[in-house]
Structure 1
């Protein structure tokens, strides 16, 4: 399959019953400024571009949201429990981007998309959400070109970073997806 733009990515996701179920489950929480991001999308697109018939198993499904009024990490754990009640087969991970800047020791984020833009890799800085009309929306702060080209590069926040270098070695993306290149 040939993928060229954001619309192609949304179409691939919309045709995947498992992914749409995951997105609909997350939507039930009605979190402010919520997105499912990172490997959830990246793995699907790379599986598709590699022609894999089996879905790559994900270590987690990252649900992010932004709520500057509720910064207690315990809230995230409560949301994970609620999602596990809806579907315990999914390895949920919920993070409030309003507090993640502390972990990363940077200026406070202004939104989930701002938080996403501070992810280590451009191909991972991508998210999808479902609006109240049931329409998918994609956010890719650095575009989708690297994702579609199967190229791992650091975002501007991680250029020359040991964290990026360590992740690139640890993740072993090109072992799972041989066409992936790492800068």
Structure 2
């Protein structure tokens, strides 16, 4: 169970704690409800949307760190035209133009990332660059939040940045990880982070 001190969550122990901090964030709940209106197959709002919330809470920030985008992913192997994703983004912007929506069909993203085909959105999330980023949220028909964490939540709540197993399999992949960590420069925003380097 997480504990509060003047609104500050000091400890996040498990996945249910993560779900609770999302439930108590009106903006995040609004994002999830809007994404749900698209009724996409195997949809999730993922990556920084979840990770940054955890890090903000554990740093005691009273305001959310702005996100460059809000990643909505889904899995539809029967329709992999990128133009469809752009139309879906337009629908989301029409509902709330103040959210930096980004929509991607993970049934085609393996081509962009030069990977084997994914079998689902969760499989794609498992292949995100960092374990702390490999997180996603969705809602069922009863408005219950579901969290996916293919590599667990421990690295995210321990504020450890390290690569997912895929990026440990070759020097080229390790270089992609190192380049991303360097470009993101997350320690400037969240100084309590521990960055694990592999090169």
Q: How high is the TM-score relative to the length of structure 1? A: 0.99
Greater displacement, 65-74 / 157-166: 157-166
**Structure with greater contact order relative to length (CA < 8 Å, sep ≥ 6):** 1
C-alpha RMSD of matched pairs (Å): 0.6
Residue among 167, 171, 180 paired with 2:184 = 171
Bigger radius of gyration: 2
Deviations 1:38-97 (A, max 9, x none): 000111110000000111000000000000000000000000000000100000000000
Q: 1:149 aligned to 2:180? A: no
Hey, what does 1:6 align to over in structure 2? 15
Q: How does 1:1-183 map to 2 (within 5 A)?
A: 1=9, 2-159=11-168, 160=171, 161-183=174-196
Question: Following TM superposition, by how much is the alpha carbon of 1:181 offset from its aligned partner in structure 2, in angstroms?
Answer: 0.9
- In structure 2, C-alpha distance between the alignment counterparts of 1:141 and 1:27, rounded to whole Å: 21
Aligned length: 183
Hey, what does 2:3 align to over in structure 1? none
Q: For 2:71, what is the secondary structure of its paired residue?
A: strand
- In structure 1, C-alpha distance between the alignment counterparts of 2:100 and 2:17, rounded to whole Å: 26
